[in-house]
C-alpha cells in the first residue's frame, strides 16, 4: 500500500501544481476584469480534496477487495458529481447574466482531475502501482 500511496502522491502533487499555475496565469492574462464567483483557490481546493479522497479510497479497496475497485470507482464518481452539484448551487442560484466564465473555470479543472483519476485507476487496476 505504501508504494501505491507514494506512486499516487508523486504524480498527483506535480499535476495539481502545474494545473493550478497554468490556470492562474491564463485567467490572469485573459480575464483580468472579470469577477469570479469562486476563487481559483477554492475551486482547486475542492478538486484536490475530492480527487485525493476518491483515489485514496480506491487504493485502500484495491488491497482489501480488489475485484470491486471498478464498481467502487463508478460509485465514488457519482458521489463526486453530487458534491459538484452541491458546491455549485450558490453559483447556479446567482442572478448574474454572464455565468459562462465561472462554469468553464470550474469544469475545465474538473475534467482534468477526472482524467487524472481515470488514468490512475486504470494503472491501479492493471497493477502498475503495486
Question: What's the confidence (pLDDT) of residue 83?
Answer: 94
Q: Would you give the distance in Å from CA 103 to the centre of its chain?
A: 15
Question: What pLDDT, on a 0 to 100 scale, did the predictor assign at position 130?
Answer: 55
DSSP 64-107: H-GGGHHHHHHHHHHHHHHHHHHHHHHHHHS--S--HHHHHHHH
- 72 touches 57 (CB < 8 A): yes
pLDDT, residue 114, reads: 94
Residue 120 grid cell? 490512475
- Could you state, in chain order, the average pLDDT of each consecutive group of 10 residues for the chain (130 residues)? 78 93 85 78 93 93 88 93 92 79 88 93 77
Contact between 68 and 61 under an 8 Å Cβ cutoff? The reply is yes
Q: HSE of 28 in the Cβ direction (CA atoms, 13 Å)?
A: 7
Amino acid at each position: 500500500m505504501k508504494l501505491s500511496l507514494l506512486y499516487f502522491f508523486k504524480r498527483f502533487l506535480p499535476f495539481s501544481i502545474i494545473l493550478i499555475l497554468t490556470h492562474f496565469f491564463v485567467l490572469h492574462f485573459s480575464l483580468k476584469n472579470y469577477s469570479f464567483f469562486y476563487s481559483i483557490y477554492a475551486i482547486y481546493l475542492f478538486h484536490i480534496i475530492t480527487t485525493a479522497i476518491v483515489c485514496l479510497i480506491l487504493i485502500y479497496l484495491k488491497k482489501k477487495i480488489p475485484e470491486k475497485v471498478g464498481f467502487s470507482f463508478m460509485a465514488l464518481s457519482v458521489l463526486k458529481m453530487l458534491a459538484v452539484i452541491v458546491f455549485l448551487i450558490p453559483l447556479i442560484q446567482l442572478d448574474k447574466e454572464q455565468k459562462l466564465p465561472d462554469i468553464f473555470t470550474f469544469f475545465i479543472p474538473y475534467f482534468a482531475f477526472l482524467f487524472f483519476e481515470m488514468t490512475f485507476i486504470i494503472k491501479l487496476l492493471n497493477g502498475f502501482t503495486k
